[in-house]
Structure 1
């Protein structure tokens, strides 16, 4: 099962991805984690990424797709994987599709956690308040202004990815504002439907 989880920051992608890792026994591929691992391992693509990161520039789509390409060849990803936080742009979605096609693979589904942006901001403010009340540090990205800026970037860049997957019949929308258990049930229903197809 090869899945993409789409949705803005705070929609619950990380929570659902971790759950799917356990239920489907496939890895969650975080591009940030993979970049750091490739750099640490000194792979050819990791060395390229390291040079770019040290210069302070953003790692190119070619490098990120190259790292995903290497990672999905590893034994634990043979049964599938969950991409979370990638693709972020239409160019990345196209590059991912071409890379998978070159391996004779394709995605099974893109699951979008849809949200109500103003309510999502309230949710983040509440999460920060709960962390503070519990004496725990709030996540850096739980600052409402930082969060609004990330949400704006998501809407500007990643919103174009949704129609790309809708046109290919891969997009499944799930209400990301529902309680966590209901979101999990809805995602499991999508996974079962796709597996049966």
Structure 2
């Protein structure tokens, strides 16, 4: 079964580098009625465009810090409204949000007001030593947000985007030193978020060190609950 019998509104939680974007892509291909919003993609486009919020985000990213709650909440909620996803019949996925307890509370409050509640939150549980080992090999096509890994997901032409042929670039935060700071911050913030969603009865976890291990578990979970 490839369709869903009721609307799915899902959040993917996971450490930076855990593969949230890859899992999102595979879920959307399997369940085409589900739409997605990646805060990473939105932020990268804002940074590339040189907007106020993009410049603010860039300064924090270069320091290996998370984006402030107020910046992220305002960005995501405006996107949800603009996309007309604040509808109880809508099916969508949020990738990379919320990242703090305050963000989770603000999102939950806004969705409640629109009678459009989350009904699944999935933690992608990946060994963080594996994440640090792979991060040095990661390259990105900035305009689209497509991510490649030279070791296990290389582009067809070295250092060129598969779709446009444009050059790939190395993110300034894709170093082990900077990434460890991001992981430390994530580990600090994620526990109260998990507790919040666990208390609501919507938190699940899938574990594995590669996308190919995690994805079948994730798909099976979605089908079990919504298929």
TM-score normalised over the length of structure 1: 0.75
Does 1:142 pair with 2:174? Answer: yes
Does 1:122 pair with 2:154? Answer: no
- Whether the 8 Å CA contact 1:108–1:194 is kept in 2: the answer is no
Q: 1:135 to 1:6 in 2, by over 3 A?
A: same
2:93 aligned partner: 82
Does 1:189 pair with 2:200? Answer: no
Partner of 1:169, secondary structure, is coil
Q: Extract unaligned runs of 5+ from structure 2.
A: 1-7, 61-65, 139-148, 160-167
Q: 1:74 to 1:192 in 2, by over 3 A?
A: farther
CA RMSD of aligned residues (A): 3.4
1:87-117 CA deviation, whole Å, 9 max, x = no partner? 0100100110000000001111111011222
- Separation in structure 1 between the aligned mates of residue 39 and residue 72 of structure 2, nearest angstrom: 7
Deviation at 1:166, TM superposition (A): 1.4
1:104 aligned partner: 115
Does 1:164 pair with 2:196? Answer: yes
Structure with a larger share of its residues in helix: 1
Deviation at 1:161, TM superposition (A): 1.1
Q: 1:180 to 1:93 in 2, by over 3 A?
A: same
Structure 1 window deviating more from structure 2 (180-189 vs 89-98): it is: 180-189
Q: Pick from 58, 72, 83 the counterpart of residue 64 of structure 1.
A: 72
- Separation in structure 1 between the aligned mates of residue 73 and residue 170 of structure 2, nearest angstrom: 28
1:51-104 CA deviation, whole Å, 9 max, x = no partner? x949x7897545533443343345674522111111010010011000000000
Structure 1 window deviating more from structure 2 (3-12 vs 23-32): it is: 23-32
1:93-143 CA deviation, whole Å, 9 max, x = no partner? 011000000000111111101122223322334657737xx8536733432
Does 1:16 pair with 2:40? Answer: no
Structure 1 window deviating more from structure 2 (26-35 vs 58-67): it is: 58-67
Q: 1:111 to 1:72 in 2, by over 3 A?
A: same
In the alignment of these two chains, the number of paired residues is 185
Deviation at 1:184, TM superposition (A): 1.3
1:174 aligned partner: 206
Deviation at 1:148, TM superposition (A): 1.1
Q: 1:135 to 1:23 in 2, by over 3 A?
A: closer
Q: Extract unaligned runs of 5+ from structure 1.
A: 40-45
